[in-house]
Amino acid sequence: MQGYRLIGSNPSPYSVKMRALMRYRRLPFFWEWRSPKNMEETKDVRPQVIPILQYPDGSFRNDSTFVALDLEQRHKERSALPDDAGLRFLALLVEDMADEWGTKCMFHYRWFYAADQDFCGKWIAGESGMGMPYDKVLERAEMFAERQIGRMALVGCTPQNRPVIEESYLRVLRLMEEGLKETPFIFGGRPTLADFGWFGQLFQLFMDPTPSTQMRLSGPKVYMWVPRMDDCSGVDAAAPLVSADALSPMVMDFLRLAGELYLPFLDANATALKIGAEEFSLEVWGLKYSQTPFRYQGKCYDWLKSEFAKLDAKARASIEPALKRTGCLQYLI
């Protein structure tokens, strides 16, 4: 097999994230929709989540962040990571927040409102059942929507958490709306893994009825940024990024969001996992957020702290002032 084979689906945030990343990096690949045929072929891949990337040697891998980092080791050209070690860590932090918190925004809007439930059920069922009679698509859509709605509490997307989740979405729209006036991407003149992480979630919010309307109202520049991010193969990969000692307002705003919301959430989740609690709560912006502990997000927190601990003294010194000002540092030491 020549090149890579990316198996995914347009309604999957991590699938479109990886597709856009590989387009930007100009890696040879082809895109294949998830289908019953390739489900059988990849039934032994664990966990059973998409996207799944098949390597030229025939092996399969998934988990978008770590596949992206593996591709960085294999292909040095058109990197999606900053050369500066301090900036690299910040990009990983912002990307992880997209993957683990931004997905709550996506999941909440997708399955909370009736119009979104109807649209997304049909969209997802239609993609996975291409060529199927439409009455069968509708049956699958209803079954899929029912299953996903039943999982909402598991990922913290409850009516009680709605104010925090929707406020966080609005804050992302507002900070990016302002930031995109100054730079085309989060860290400057070219995209990093942070952009691709947020693109994956925002593409879904761009597509789904309720959050799409909100994006056009509160973040029209974000609404224009999303389709542009889908294929950045023509972007200059040598375009400059911000420096660690002079971070842009957009980067600082993302770090502030991490310090106020994401890292406290990870910390509370980790504490709950450690003591075996069935639920944890925290207060964010004067609002209460509660959910059952989630083991994978505990691993994400350990990974972020490990990556921070690996930084040498110079790299740490360059970003610690910003991390301290935004409330992040206390959660990383």
What is the pLDDT, as a whole number, of residue 30?
A: 96
What is the pLDDT, as a whole number, of residue 308?
A: 98
Q: Find residue 4's DSSP bridge partners.
A: 29
Alpha helices in 129-185 (DSSP H): 134-150, 162-179
Coil, helix or strand at residue 44: coil
Q: Give burial (CB, 10 Å; 0-12/13-18/19+) of 326.
A: buried
pLDDT in tens, 23-67: 999 999 999 999 888 988 999 998 889 999 999 999 999 999 999
Domain boundary among 74, 97, 131: 74
Shared-domain flag, residues 246 and 204: yes
Look up the domain containing 57 and give its range: 4-74
pLDDT in tens, 64-77: 999 999 999 999 99
pTM: 0.97
45 within some domain? yes
- The total of structural domains in the chain comes to 2
Percent of the chain clearing pLDDT 70 (strictly above):
100
Residues 6+ apart with CB under 8 A from 122: 137, 138, 141
Shared-domain flag, residues 19 and 101: no
Shared-domain flag, residues 56 and 185: no
80 within some domain? no
145 within some domain? no
Q: Give burial (CB, 10 Å; 0-12/13-18/19+) of 246.
A: exposed
Shared-domain flag, residues 203 and 89: yes
What is the pLDDT, as a whole number, of residue 1?
A: 63
What is the pLDDT, as a whole number, of residue 127?
A: 85
Q: How far is CA 190 from the centre of its chain?
A: 18
Per-residue pLDDT of the chain (333 residues; tens, 9 = 90+): 689 999 999 999 999 999 999 999 999 999 999 988 898 899 999 888 999 999 999 999 999 999 999 999 999 999 999 999 999 999 999 999 999 999 999 999 999 999 999 999 999 998 877 777 888 889 989 998 999 999 999 999 999 999 999 999 999 999 999 999 999 999 999 999 999 999 999 999 999 999 999 999 999 999 999 999 999 999 999 999 999 989 999 999 999 999 999 999 999 999 999 999 999 999 999 999 999 999 999 999 999 999 999 999 999 999 999 999 999 999 999
What is the pLDDT, as a whole number, of residue 135?
A: 86
Q: Find residue 290's DSSP bridge partners.
A: 281
The number of residues making up the chain comes to 333
For CA atoms 266, 110, 5, 187, the dihedral sign is negative
**3-state SS string for 235-280:** CCCCCCECECCECCHHHHHHHHHHHHHHHHHHHHHHHHHHHCCCCE
The CA distance from 300 to 294, in Å, is 10
What is the pLDDT, as a whole number, of residue 36?
A: 84
The CATH number for 60's domain is 3.40.30.10
131 within some domain? no
The CA distance from 192 to 53, in Å, is 20
Coil, helix or strand at residue 4: strand
Token code pair at residue 233: 């193969």
Shared-domain flag, residues 181 and 288: yes
Shared-domain flag, residues 67 and 188: no
Shared-domain flag, residues 296 and 252: yes
